[in-house]
Structure 1
């Protein structure tokens, strides 16, 4: 009897440790030092906010950001004016005084000829006869004309001047990424918008993601959608570019959405230029598994930018127990790196627990019956 008891005990121990005696590698955190930054909670639940997908939420998500309205109002109030910079070459003519209009060779910092005219040096000054050196960097052409007229009036009676730019050299816009001709474009006295810059760069390549164009100014980046400009007529996104701006067009393969959980096919979907909505993503993943999925538990998990206020993880929940809610899913636009997750029904989760336990229980019962 003691032998039978010992064998049953041994069999039970083998069942309990069986999960650890499996092929392949394993990694445990037990006994290892675990460090959590003091400024960040280790509880992931404290980092997430859940938003049920409703018509009210969809209306809020479709609203333009506040900075769009601010940019639209300020750009409408301030007409474009080109401002002179170091390296620009000015053409200055004084009427009825040809001796002042002798063409000089403007040189760059290496002493090489670049153009005929009056060059603005690296410190922002230009030199003109009778006037001497004057600071013109950051000034408009009318301001320079007024300044020169006032200075020449000390020596000439009612001088009349014409000032224009012979060569624009001080300011550039960089266009790179999925465009046909990456490079730098000179900023001139003709306003250059975002679409103008892309056109001058030869247009988009076939791989371009036109929904996530990155515009960077003074180290601050904003994402601009060509589709919003073209389809919705949102001209506020067609930004007016200035010197030092960077326009980056990312390739489309970088914009992916992950569909996981109880769907027909676990999928990694590439977003097209027309975007991707939640219902479309579920359809491309062969829909919910009707035998396994919990229709109330369709979630979109999204990381928020670090500079945004609030919790860093937003979770959007769509209740598809009534299939009418698929209409809301068509209005919910996904973003790159979103995770669409469909949960399992409670009974399915319980059955999966049983499926893990039953083989071990069956083995123990068979051993016990054998030893009786």
Structure 2
């Protein structure tokens, strides 16, 4: 009986040789029978360094990214047609742009103005100013000539151009005194011809409105032209051209605000009433366009039908390419990148690296239902990665006894042909040894009985 127990003890002591399980063992130098193996504990810095190795994931075919292109001929046929509905022909309403306000200033005499001199009718005065009185009795004034002067008989030329009425009266006074003529007289402007404002456009009677001693306002200038004759007030604009700049006042705003009617005008201003939209003319135009649009609508429908057909064909071709690719992938008929899982994982097998992105260690482990903790040694989770020559292997070891270290599994990238290996628990190795050797022990016990 003692011999029996000694035999059993010797037998169990050698079970490590009887049951051989895979394990990662560090090998310093490669030889004919093995490759060099370097075990590197996986840390955050090690993961970053390992992820720097070059790798470009395989991409999906263009059919998965391309949008359906519209054929050039059909596209040209559609764009050559006019819109199915005419765009709004009414223009936008003009922006209110008011000219700067003028400072009050007296009237200044200019070229072509007519001045009238009046004197007392006493006999002595008549004898002295016979020429002047003759002009007055005939109601003839003195026209300001192009040099700005007027010619008074027996007095000569007096420059009054650019002067106010008071300044002109002082100049005539000096001239009379100089010629020893009684300076008893009055002066006034009989005709205002030097300063004018042009009024035109949609008015009853285009005219030249003179500027007199009384300031000329916009409303008065339009009244002198017979008023505005535009039919559509909403799209009528009063435009003022002054000193090289154009100002605009919508008619609706002009009628609503008295301040706009009282805009003061100055010499050489141009006022134009602009009717940018003519209802009668637009009605005739639209009547002509209705028939044209009816004919073009039929051509548009045909072009769109052809276009839809071309698009359907293009979409069908893209769908067919995608379906063919998917079928080939399901049949494993495409070149793919793989990672292999072995050891104490729930399901040993092959993990396919995804298209167009990089997979992590956690992706591969948990795609195969993870690691069974009753048999897998979570302190020895390895990624075995060989070099290009195939004579060296780096074993990145993840110790997940502290479950927080599993975060590293979400940061460690995989590369094609990596091998993920999980070692077994020590107790698991003993359990499997006893399980496999159990029948032999029972046979030995039965023999010694």
TM-score by length of 1: 0.46
Structure 2 length as normaliser, TM-score?
0.39
> Whose radius of gyration is greater, 1 or 2?
2
Q: Which has the higher contact order (CA 8 A, sep 6+)?
A: 2
Determine which structure has the larger helix proportion and give its number: 2
More strand by share: 1
